[in-house]
A and B are shown apart, each in its own frame.
Chain A
Amino acid sequence: MPLLQIDQMTHYFGGLRAVHDYNLEIEPGQIRGLIGPNGAGKTTIFNLITGIYSPTEGDIRLEGKDIFGLQPYQIASLGLGRTFQNLRLWRHMTVLEHVMQARYSKLTYGLLGAFFGTPKRQREEAESRKMSNELLELIGVRHLADQIVVNLPYGAQRRVEMARALATEPKILFLDEPTAGMNTEELAQMMATIRQVHKELGLAIFLIEHRMKFVMELCDIIQTLVFGEVIAEGTPAEIQNNPAVIEAYLGKEIET
């Protein structure tokens, strides 16, 4: 059984068909890529799977369990963690608070613990702090733990998004353009970080990217999306040599 299985997912924004007949199977530990021109519907697919939009039709199963129509927080708790293309950080919170906040569904101390500071709460918060610090270490932003996020450079903010998503203990990590706005050096570092995360946490990764070098080096299987439809799916080598992909997308991309 695949970890995540999506069958015939279609979504309309009013009259605009943003996604059409989309299918996906992700196996545990896989790294999958989703590429395509601007406006193809890539982010929309992420939003549909993570519950931010509800698909017009389709079937979404996580480990065989139907998650169609669940609220985003429920889907996240079940093991789909994500980052956002346009950073969505909490502007008054520190880096460490971001990561600890994402442990929300793992806390069991309840309102009584929150009101009265019970020993259980102290214990759980201490554990959460420890784990969050370890994640910050893994992602390479431990030294920024007490900074308010808005003061950080763009690259660091992207990393905070990643650390925060990992704190939800995802089975699949969704990364929406993790290298957007980064220079070549930062890109290489981000690639190393993703490899490290994949190795240490053993999770599956589903990523959207425009930087071809990045996608081709990291991913096991890549889908190409054009106007909401998958026109090709295959290994990096297959995608690079696919005439339809070159015609619709790669030919126009001058980036590496």
Chain B
Amino acid sequence: MAESTNNSSAGRKGLSVRLGKAWEPFTKVPLLGWLLGILVAVALEQLVGTPLAHLVGLSKIPVLFGFVIVLKQPVLLPGTLLYILLIYLLPVGLVARLGAALTNKLAARLLQSPLWVSAIVHVGLLYASLHMWADISDYRDLVLRLTLIAIILTLSLNIVNGYMGEFSCSHPGFMALGAYAASAFTVIFFVEDKVFGSPLLPPALGPFLFPLALIFGGVISALGALLVAIPSFRTRGDYLAIISLAFLFIVKSLIENLEILGGPRGFMSQPDWANLPTVFIWCMGSIWIINNFVSSTLGKSLNAVRDEETAANAMTVNTRRTKMVGFQFAAFWAGVAGGLFAHVMRYVNPGSFGIQKLAEMLAMVYFGGLNSVVGSIVGAVGFNLLSEALRPLELFKWIIIPLLLILVMLYRPTGLIAFREFDIANLLKPKRKSEEEVEHAIATD
């Protein structure tokens, strides 16, 4: 009998088929269903997380999915796994699976109104989950905010290194310009400070005008970008890498020597306005605007110039302007991210914006995928979580992460999710036809 000659490869095949079958219903779950599942899971954690943690032998809720605990005390592995299973995997899976019929219908209903309505509902759900998740500990809150900022940075660098196909090293410099400009803005206008004296405006206004400070940081950074862009894009050739590297060092030593900004000691007393909702809104805004840009014909000129500049020029594309706009747009967002970063840490020093930062940003871009908004999000989130999760390994972390990067580069030279358009309508749509449609289809058969 065929069954009795069951060798290992057939067995493996059987397993993967069975796994595929088990997974099949989940492919019918719309994004809305997953978000709802996550919301239920984090709500559950708030309610019963602590007692459950004690029950499985943990002293407190594992802050980062148990990575840190397990790496420090491997004996706690079973308890941690049980916790993850009960709090995250089971609830998310159950809600997603059992609610699929409902969430599909809801998603379809939502898409009957304009796309932004559905988008806001999804983003709102996502925020609610993140908020509850971060509520558990200050550490989570900080990691989350830094990750959201990293998304902005990665997207921004991807515009230059991915969409434009150039290689820029100046991004930490742009981030620094934004960070210091926004900090100076908030401190001069709204904070009682030893160097800058009493605030020029009532501090109560501050949180409302904080967006202005961030935009100011972005604009200063975009202006700084001219210093790199004008000489680099005047002629063809690969000058950008070298000029932008020089720029990075110039910005760093400039800040180090500006005593009014704290010099090498750093700049502190930024107000605490970059809370989770603020950072979240800016992150979503940057994703939305950057995605709008790169999916427009104007933004796709970046690709045309990268792939074949002469042809772009002959097809009416103003190639020089395209490069300048792309580069300055990217610098603007790096500046905004810098402003947010300064107000999250409430302290910045020139050392925060050096080669190490550049290496991290490049890693996020190339890990996630060139020329792809989703890739940048995945790259930033993946890299940040990994980097936090492996923190207990100390030095080994800096062996494991580069090794992972090399593996990605070997098997996917352009990154995990490269050259993919981020189609929001497609992301939000239901994954199964609504029942009426199905009935209709059967009736017409």
Contact = CB atoms under 8 A, between A and B. Distances in A.
Interface in B376-427: 419
B313 A73 contact: yes
A105 B316 contact: yes
Q: Label chain A's interface by main secondary structure.
A: helix
Interface string A77-106: 100001010001111110001001111111
B207 to A, nearest CB: 24
B371 to A, nearest CB: 7
Interface string A16-37: 0000000000000000000000
Interface string A88-131: 11111100010011111111011101111100010001001000
Nearest to B311: A88
B296 A125 contact: yes
B59 to A, nearest CB: 48
**B interface, how many residues as a size bin?**
20 to 34
Given A92-B371, A116-B289, A121 B296 contact: yes
Interface in B358-390: 371
A73 B298 contact: no
B318 A73 contact: yes
Given A93-B304, A101-B304, A116-B292, A73 B316 contact: yes
Contacts of B292: 114-117
Interface string B267-310: 00000000000000000000001001100111111011001101
Contact of B297 (A88, A101, A164): A101
Contacts of B317: 73, 101, 104-105
A223 interface: no
A92 B298 CA distance: 16
Nearest to A149: B307
A90 B316 contact: no
B298 A114 contact: yes
Contact of A107 (B289, B297, B315): B297
Contacts of B299: 114
A214 to B, nearest CB: 23
Given A73-B319, A107-B298, A93 B313 contact: no
Contacts of A117: 292, 296
B297 A103 contact: yes
Contact of B315 (A76, A114, A115): A76
Contact of B300 (A97, A109, A116, A164): A97
A167 B311 CA distance: 13
Contacts of B70: none
Contact of B308 (A76, A88, A167): A88
A113 B296 contact: yes
A168 interface: yes
Nearest to A121: B296
A73 B300 contact: no
Instruction: Assign chain A's interface to a size class.
Output: 35 or more
B301 A115 contact: no
Nearest to B294: A114
A179 interface: no
A155 interface: no
B314 interface: yes
A164 B296 contact: no
Contacts of A102: 315-316
Nearest to A117: B292
Given A111-B325, A114-B293, A76 B316 contact: yes
17 contacts: A52-B310, A52-B313, A72-B314, A73-B316, A73-B317, A76-B314, A76-B316, A88-B311, A89-B307, A90-B312, A91-B307, A93-B304, A104-B301, A104-B316, A105-B318, A111-B325, A125-B296
The 9 closest A-B pairs by CB, nearest first: A105-B316, A90-B307, A88-B311, A102-B315, A72-B313, A114-B296, A114-B298, A76-B316, A117-B292
Interface of B: 289, 292-293, 296-301, 303-304, 307-308, 310-319, 325, 371, 419
Interface of A: 50, 52, 71-73, 76-77, 82, 84, 88-93, 97, 100-107, 109-111, 113-117, 121, 125, 128, 164-165, 167-168
Given A76-B316, A84-B314, A115-B289, 20 more contacts: A52-B310, A71-B318, A73-B316, A73-B318, A76-B313, A77-B316, A84-B310, A84-B311, A89-B308, A90-B303, A92-B419, A100-B297, A101-B312, A101-B317, A106-B316, A107-B297, A111-B298, A113-B298, A117-B292, A121-B296
